[in-house]
Amino acid sequence: MASVVEDERSGGVRHPDAALVRIEHVNLTVSDPARSAAMLESVFGWQERWRGPSAMGGWTIHVGSGSDYVALYTHGGEARFPKGRPFNHLGVEVEDLDAVEARVYAAGLLPFSHGDYEPGRRFYFLDFDGIEYEVVSYRDVA
């Protein structure tokens, strides 16, 4: 039987199955999956896991680590959405924030909204389709 574990960060009680729950992937609609995959590989050091036709039509490339990934989907056509639609941003935790920021610049993208506040240091950038990424490091957080 699973036991309930206190979560000091939230001051509350964590669900007994929380250790078994994780986000396995996020599926983003983009205009050019190959271009977006190349950007994610160069900025975050991720690897392509799979590419092929989508079960719903269109084309998908999966890029990420061995345990999680971002699915980059297109059915052709425009992929830009107003800020906050379909979501606000995708957060990515990294060890070396400065090195990742240099790779964002090298990819031709512009970091903005730098912050150093609880619970970590961060910056944001928009990809080619206007999808916002938050890049955060908790490395020096006690």
Separation CA 104–CA 99 (nearest Å): 9
Window from 14-28, 52-66, 111-125, 126-140 with minimum mean pLDDT = 14-28
Separation CA 109–CA 87 (nearest Å): 20
Residue 142 has pLDDT above 60, yes or no: no
What are the tens digits of pLDDT across the range 36-86? 999 999 999 999 999 999 987 899 999 999 999 999 999 876 666 666 666
Ramachandran angles phi, psi of 100, nearest 5°: -65, -40
Residue 20 has pLDDT above 70, yes or no: no
Q: Does residue 65 contact residue 4 with C-beta atoms inside 8 Å?
A: no
Evaluate if pTM is beyond 0.85.
no
